[in-house]
Amino acid sequence: MKTNIFLFILVIFIISLIITLNMFFQESYQSEMAEQFNRQQLLIAKSVAKSIEGDLQHIEGETLSLVRLLGEGGLSGKTMEESVYTAYVDLSEDLNVTIKILDGNGRAMFSSHGEPANASDIEYFEGSASLPPGKVTYIDRLAQDRKLVLLTPIVKGSSRKGLLIMELSIDTISKKFLAPIKAGIRGHAWMMSGNGTLLYHPTQPKMVGKNLYKADRSCFDCHKSFDVERKILESGDIGFSSYIAPYGEDKLVAFSRAKVANLSWIVCISIPYSEVTFSIRKSMKLHSLLVISIFIATVVGAFAMVMINRQRVKAEEKTKYLEAQKLLEKEIVQTKDYLENLLESTESMIMVLDRDMIIRTVNSAHIRLCNRTKEDIIGKSFFSIFPICDADLRTGAIRGVLEECLTGKSHKLSNYPYALGGETLYLNISINPLVLHGEVAGIILSSSDVTEEVNLKTKIQEYAMRLEEMVVVRTDELKEEKEKLDAIVSAIEGGLCVMDDVDRRVIWANKTLLEWLGEDSFQKITLEKIYGENNIQRAIVDDKMLREVIYHNYGNRKGYFQITSTPLIAPQGHRQSLILIQDVTDIKKMEDRMMQSEKLSALARISAGVAHEIGNPLTSISSYVQILREMDHDEFTRETLDTVAKHITRIADIVRQMASFSKTRESDLRHHDASELVDVTLDLVKYDKRMKGIKINVDVPKGLPPVRVNETQIVQVLLNIILNAADAMANGGSLEIRARELDEEVEISVADTGSGIPVEHLEKIFDPFFTTKEKGTGLGLAVSYNIVKSYQGDIIVESRSEGGTIFRVRLPYYES
């Protein structure tokens, strides 16, 4: 049956495909035929255009021949008339040409219709002086009286004898060349000029003489638009196209351009598309009728075959049904035996109830559990055979579960107590609906004995409870130890953390390190935050104790830190490191100050001897150089002595600065105000060229406690600091000088907006002979540091966050 339906659908598909292909090929054949027909029309249009060009060229040739005869023979007598009639007898009969000959005075010497010269002829004669001899000039009068005028001057040698005027009617040309052309029933030829004026149309004579670029309302009675005509005018000399007529019919058009002198006429041949494809459409209709007939015959035959086969199929199906019933009965018996064997062989205890809770089937495993015979169980109520526990008897829970199972829901009872004599067993019972023919016909109970598992689980729970008690005791002990360890770790004034060496992550950190880093969790701490980017490679040392001092900024704490890394072995075997971070900034500063004091003390002892040993010889050398400079010498000698004097002056300055390392005498000390010291210093530097472009802001309040110092030395200290700041602001800037009272000290600060001091140079700037200037000696700040220290004061340098440097000079004061 399915095969017949498939064949029927296949036949319909094939016939539909043939009809579709027939329609497709019909359209293709029609398009190809229309294109071929259009090419034929194009050949006709080209032939007509060439014929018009040929006739006009023939007229032009005859005209030039006649003009030469008239120029030689004269314009009087029978000779002229015979020449005219001989030359134009064929043209006069064929194209109805009108000929006029005017003499040199504009008088009509000949007219083919016997007419005198009119106003147009006189106008042509007056303008003939500019006409070139030996050529024919065309005058387009198609718009006025549908005529074409040919003018040719009659000359003999260099003198003009007269003018030949010939008039052609465009209607005569159209009648001869265009009117005879017929394409099919409604196909015809028509012509328009190169500027869009309709010259001839057999079906629209009212439109003749109108221009498509100046179309009025009457022009659109038969045209929706003139787009096709405009495209023809804008195209080349030949071509073909198609368009839709106002009444909705497709048309084909082929065109060719006829050119004579300065004239351009377009010959067009058009035909309805339906006439071209009429024969194809007629044959395709017959073909379609034939295909439809075949289709109808096929459908009728297929229907008959289906009806014949239906009875045979019914008989075969009935036979197959009877055979299937026999096989089904046999399979049912086999399945029954299979299920009974399966129920008897399984260790699970299975019982089947009907909807009234009567036991219908029970396997041997369940019989052994109940300790009864099969006949005592089957046919009895479930509640009279199965021992229900006391809790279910009171609540009726087991009955509710069975009734809910009859609605199609399954249930499981775990560790259900089953009383058997004086012993209690535990069963896992699975209760599922028995579905027959889509309806719930009863209940299947499948039970398994889990008594041993329940007893073992009870023992495990008792053991787990004892373990929990032991864990609680041990946990309390560990908690106590942890609290002691936390107290010890918290008492350490330093950061402490543990790092996993495998993946380089911190797994624990104390509160101090978290506060330094400003973090709320140790998971955010990385190795880079602890050591810094520049020291990370030195920090990675496996299985070795590492101790080093680095300068680092931890966010909330910066300075010098001693980092000690000790390897640990974790319980899982992973390598770990215990990292201790101690702030040694104060110790580092103290060491630096002690080292600086030792350097300055040694330098002071050396400088005193050097200044004495160098000072006397240098004075003598300077005197002799001064005497030599006052003598007359050549240019080279003078320059040499000037250079020597300059270097002697430099040596003297260095000796003088070295001499200042010696201790100040008690007799030179006086009480001075901070404002007095700042004013004296500014008076000294205000004319220095390095201070040009620098704005100085002074904030030194009156009434600060006086300091007991040597004015010259403190001014020298401030002078060195201010000039160094000026060197750092070569392009101008701002200098702020402030003073304030601290605990038993007066602080004078000098802040600039210059380029600042690199971090690596901050520790060295007070070292003797350390300088970053090309011409510096490195003694200015060293001398200043020694002077301030000699008064038990301090001088501090810092980099400003907004840019630049700030020096703080702190001097002790003593209340009287």
> CA 773, 774, 778: angle at the middle one, nearest 5?
50
Round to whole Å and give the CA distance between 283 and 274.
Answer: 14
For residue 224, give the nearest of 243, 203, 205, 202 by alpha carbon. 243
For residue 423, give the nearest of 369, 464, 474, 466 by alpha carbon. 369
CA distances (Å), origin 756, targets 56, 375, 479, 726, 761 = 103, 110, 53, 12, 10
Rg (CA), the chain: 65
CATH T-level topology, domain 2-164: Beta-Lactamase (3.30.450)
Residue appearing with tokens 């002790």: 812
Lowest mean pLDDT among 130-139, 205-214, 689-698: 205-214
Per residue in 433-448, pLDDT tens?
988 888 888 888 888 8
Per residue in 613-657, pLDDT tens?
676 677 767 776 777 777 777 888 877 877 777 767 767 766 665
Residue appearing with tokens 């373990």: 467
CATH T-level topology, domain 174-277: Beta-Lactamase (3.30.450)
Residue 216 or 717, more confident: 717
Round to whole Å and give the CA distance between 296 and 290.
Answer: 10
Round to whole Å and give the CA distance between 399 and 591.
Answer: 92
Asked if 378 and 366 count as a contact pair (C-beta separation under 8 A), the reply is no
In CATH, which of 1.10.287.180, 3.30.450.20, 3.40.50.2300, 3.40.47.10 is domain 346-449?
Answer: 3.30.450.20
Strand partners, 361: 352
Confidence of residue 740 (pLDDT cuts 50, 70, 90): very high
Per residue in 561-611, pLDDT tens?
888 888 887 766 677 888 888 888 777 776 666 565 555 555 655 665 566
Helix (H) or strand (E) holding 646: helix 635-659
Supply the pLDDT for residue 610. Answer: 65
In CATH, which of 1.20.1260.10, 3.30.460.80, 3.30.450.20, 3.50.50.60 is domain 492-583?
Answer: 3.30.450.20
Average pLDDT over residues 121-148: 82
What sign has the CA pseudo-torsion 233, 235, 239, 242?
negative
**Equal fold, 174-277 vs 666-812:** no
Residue appearing with tokens 């019909």: 26
For residue 510, give the nearest of 530, 528, 531 by alpha carbon. 530
CB under 8 Å to 362, separation ≥6 — which residues? 350, 351, 352, 374, 377, 378
| Secondary structure of residue 353 in the 3-state scheme | strand
Concatenated DSSP letters of 487-535:
HHHHHSSSEEEEEETTTTEEEEE-HHHHHHHT-S-GGG-BHHHHH-GGG
Max mean pLDDT among 92-96, 413-417, 526-530 falls in 413-417
Asked if 169 and 96 count as a contact pair (C-beta separation under 8 A), the reply is yes
Helix (H) or strand (E) holding 547: strand 546-553
> What are the helix and strand counts (H, E) for the chain?
22, 28
> CA 708, 713, 718: angle at the middle one, nearest 5?
100
b/e 264-287 (16+ beta carbons within 10 angstroms → b):
ebbbbbbbbbebbbeebeeebeee
Residue 813, pLDDT > 70, answer: yes
What sign has the CA pseudo-torsion 4, 5, 6, 7?
positive
Asked if the 666-812 domain carries CATH number 3.30.565.10, the reply is: yes
Assigned token pair, 186? 């409604």
Average pLDDT over residues 494-512: 82
Round to whole Å and give the CA distance between 598 and 604.
Answer: 10
For residue 555, give the nearest of 497, 496, 506, 513 by alpha carbon. 513
Residue 1, pLDDT > 60, answer: no
Helix (H) or strand (E) holding 461: helix 451-491
Round to whole Å and give the CA distance between 444 and 352.
Answer: 5
Average pLDDT over residues 10-27: 68
Asked if 71 and 155 count as a contact pair (C-beta separation under 8 A), the reply is yes
Q: What is the 3-state secondary structure (H, E, C) of 364-418?
A: HHHHHHHCCCHHHHCCCEHHHHCCCCHHHHHHCHHHHHHHHHCCCCCEEEEEEEE
Average pLDDT over residues 234-242: 77
CB under 8 Å to 106, separation ≥6 — which residues? 117, 121, 122, 125, 126
Supply the pLDDT for residue 653. Answer: 63
Helix (H) or strand (E) holding 737: strand 733-742
Strand partners, 508: 498
Supply the pLDDT for residue 738. Answer: 92
Residue 388, pLDDT > 60, answer: yes
Per residue in 41-53, pLDDT tens?
778 888 888 888 8
Supply the pLDDT for residue 809. Answer: 92
Supply the pLDDT for residue 78. Answer: 66
Residue 664, pLDDT > 60, answer: no
DSSP state of 130: G
Lowest mean pLDDT among 121-135, 413-427, 730-744, 763-777: 763-777
CB under 8 Å to 358, separation ≥6 — which residues? 379, 380, 381, 382
Per residue in 325-345, pLDDT tens?
888 888 877 877 777 777 777
Average pLDDT over residues 288-310: 75
Residue 675, pLDDT > 80, answer: yes
Supply the pLDDT for residue 774. Answer: 59
Residue appearing with tokens 């001897």: 609
Max mean pLDDT among 3-17, 348-362, 478-492 falls in 348-362
Round to whole Å and give the CA distance between 603 and 748.
Answer: 26
Spell out the alpha helix ranges (H) of 109-166: 119-126, 142-145
Supply the pLDDT for residue 359. Answer: 86
Confidence of residue 449 (pLDDT cuts 50, 70, 90): confident
The domain ranges of the chain are: 2-164, 174-277, 346-449, 492-583, 666-812
Assigned token pair, 406? 């009859």
Max mean pLDDT among 167-171, 299-303, 785-789, 803-807 falls in 803-807
Can you list the pairs that 522-526 forms with residues at least 24 positions away whose Cβ atoms lie under 8 Å? Answer: 522/497, 525/497
Percent of the chain, pLDDT > 70?
80
Supply the pLDDT for residue 557. Answer: 81
Round to whole Å and give the CA distance between 502 and 235.
Answer: 85
Supply the pLDDT for residue 616. Answer: 63
How big is the chain, counted in residues? 816
When the pLDDT of each residue in the chain is averaged and rounded to a whole number, the result is 78
CA distances (Å), origin 416, targets 50, 157, 381, 421 = 117, 146, 20, 16
Residue 667, pLDDT > 60, answer: no
Confidence of residue 478 (pLDDT cuts 50, 70, 90): confident
